[in-house]
Structure 1
């Protein structure tokens, strides 16, 4: 064997043994993600093609947020025809992500509460999105929004076994179709939460309680369809040990994580947005009353403090982006606040974040983060296999 071929062989071996173990792949229909992690879709503009493609290249499932994606097509165009701009924007982001991550899995998060939910779902499917993740409401008609011939997987995001059951029952009775997977999001998630304010800290709302219940709720539909319905927990999952727990102890197929991916170089937010996570303390995280009628978890900065002090006043809605937003009674425009924050103007906006955001202490690359999480997973696996020491 020549010296060159020896070196090549060594490189191949190093690539194959990058991690000390191989976690189970996340399978959603005919899609197989080597890394069982879905990067949560974060709007506005926090997870676009840049972040999603980086996660897909690393072996996970990258997700683009469709919320107000048209603003990045140019403000003049967006304010003139927001739905058209959003459709153009989501198609461009998907194409860009696919180009940057050939062969990778690219999903799109489209909130049911969006005013243009239906045209965005159709557009994302037409553009070749591998998966649609739909929450912030029950996507009861989602199968009919997928164009004929499209192979896009359909995944509802729910906060309870009852919601999962409602969606699956409607899809099966009306379309003879079951969810390709289900994301169950607990109360430790960032952004809007699917829980009443008094239920956020309740024992029955804990993610580790909800996951087995959703798994049980999906069994009858798995039997009817003759195929598995992977359950993917989300909200507060922070380490590789967390991933190991949900997959190996509770039976989840994979996990969804969002907060960890904000503090990456590839995240599409401005540096100031990412630094807000690095600087945040546990006491900075708070539950706010969002203009859309839901509680939300955010980092309590200058903007939120001013709202709490009554310093913000209602003003003209820039675009009625969410069906449930009563802009006439709101102290601020949530769309404008989130756009400002994404651009780094935190004095004029705020940052949504998960309950563990205070644990973030540095910004790393997506690949570094994935490697760290998988190694933590492998260490947990090793310790479990070896058992307690004498």
Structure 2
């Protein structure tokens, strides 16, 4: 035990701590990140993760700027531990949200899309750790060159918008390409996965679906039950929602989108767009601009542009309203092997104790 370290008991989570470049960078006890999932990663889940020693990430894309500030302050009222906020770099009010992160003393800013060099500099100048998520080596190289402090690299096993390269292939590529800490995402749910990621050179793991399926998650019970009932084969990748590869649970609603012709798909899109506009307060022109921004150079139909703009509403229908028949359920492939709903504290303790057990039982080098 290091000089100055406190005594630990057999059941104390601190007993299983692993110091990595990630824990040193952001100041958490364990190299585990809870990803920023829209409608899921709210103050309760984020603070529970932070209090358990992991890095909780608050999802802000589905919040107004005022709601974001209130959510940040609620997390701060629940924990003294470091946490982060996930931001959309292409949001019209991105700079306002960055200012909230800075003003409120948030430790980490994560991004689903690469932030500009200017946004990175503004955050770093204020002492905020910048940790974008990437799905390709070239993206990691770009944001690292622009000054990002760390990157989260998600392989194709991960939920939501995803790429084609498996984590086991993509992760070592990125580790070899950049000189900043790399956090592995896509396919992780236990201590064995953490050890594997560390062996590849990662500084920790990020998990979304595994944290969604905790008792601290506010996702409705009926939706959690659908995830727990899913097998690996029930998790699919489809472009029917917004024209981009999107990993989610296969449901009758998703199947109907895949079967629908352009006219029916457009009707689906318009109906959901009306709902999202009411909740978000966005204008039609803003929604279309957001949808176009999500195209990433793809040749999308108008129904897909609208769906891209109101995909958050499709997620809200399931993650908030519990309507598995009317919404989409983004999911990593690990949903097919998860069968429990622990607290965040129980989950992190389990992952860390498993990791230590695996490390102890690995055969010694000969």
Q: Shorter-chain TM-score: which interval? A: 0.7 to 0.9
CA-based RMSD: 2.5
Report how far residue 125 of structure 1 moved: 2.4
Which SS does the other structure have where 2:102 is aligned?
Answer: helix
Report how far residue 15 of structure 1 moved: 6.5
Compared CA separation, residues 135 and 141, structure 1 to 2 (3 A): farther
Report how far residue 342 of structure 1 moved: 1.4
Q: Is the 8 A contact 2:241 2:257 kept in 1?
A: no
Query: For 1:238-266, what per-residue CA distance to the aligned partner results, in whole angstroms no more than 9, with x for missing partners?
Result: 2201101111x122111111111011111
Say which is worse superposed, 178-187 or 205-214, in terms of deviation.
205-214
Query: For 1:206-238, what per-residue CA distance to the aligned partner results, in whole angstroms no more than 9, with x for missing partners?
Result: 22222222222223xxxxxxxxx2111111112
Compared CA separation, residues 88 and 166, structure 1 to 2 (3 A): same
Say which is worse superposed, 309-318 or 126-135, in terms of deviation.
309-318
Query: For 1:19-52, what per-residue CA distance to the aligned partner results, in whole angstroms no more than 9, with x for missing partners?
Result: 7643224536653211110111111x11111101
Report how far residue 143 of structure 1 moved: 1.9
Separation in structure 2 between the aligned mates of residue 370 and residue 379 of structure 1, nearest angstrom: 14
Give the number of aligned pairs: 332
Whether 1:27 and 2:5 are equivalent positions in the alignment is no
2:78 to 84, 97, 100: 100
> 1:207 — aligned with what?
167
Separation in structure 2 between the aligned mates of residue 16 and residue 275 of structure 1, nearest angstrom: 30
Separation in structure 1 between the aligned mates of residue 148 and residue 240 of structure 2, nearest angstrom: 29
> 1:377 — aligned with what?
355
Q: TM-score, with normalisation over the residues of structure 1?
A: 0.78
Whether 1:240 and 2:191 are equivalent positions in the alignment is yes
Compared CA separation, residues 324 and 143, structure 1 to 2 (3 A): same
Q: Is the 8 A contact 2:240 2:258 kept in 1?
A: no
Report how far residue 17 of structure 1 moved: 4.7
Query: For 1:267-287, what per-residue CA distance to the aligned partner results, in whole angstroms no more than 9, with x for missing partners?
Result: 132222222211112221111
Separation in structure 1 between the aligned mates of residue 365 and residue 238 of structure 2, nearest angstrom: 43
Q: TM-score, with normalisation over the residues of structure 2?
A: 0.83
Structure 2, unaligned runs of 5 or more = 1-6
Separation in structure 1 between the aligned mates of residue 35 and residue 346 of structure 2, nearest angstrom: 18
Compared CA separation, residues 18 and 216, structure 1 to 2 (3 A): closer
Say which is worse superposed, 238-247 or 105-114, in terms of deviation.
105-114
Which SS does the other structure have where 1:315 is aligned?
Answer: helix
Q: How does 1:148-187 map to 2 (within 5 A)?
A: 150-169=126-145, 171=146, 178-187=147-156
2:338 to 355, 360, 364: 360
Report how far residue 18 of structure 1 moved: 4.5
Say which is worse superposed, 57-66 or 306-315, in terms of deviation.
306-315
Separation in structure 1 between the aligned mates of residue 10 and residue 78 of structure 2, nearest angstrom: 21
Which SS does the other structure have where 1:349 is aligned?
Answer: coil
Q: Is the 8 A contact 1:189 1:235 kept in 2?
A: yes
Separation in structure 2 between the aligned mates of residue 364 and residue 89 of structure 1, nearest angstrom: 28
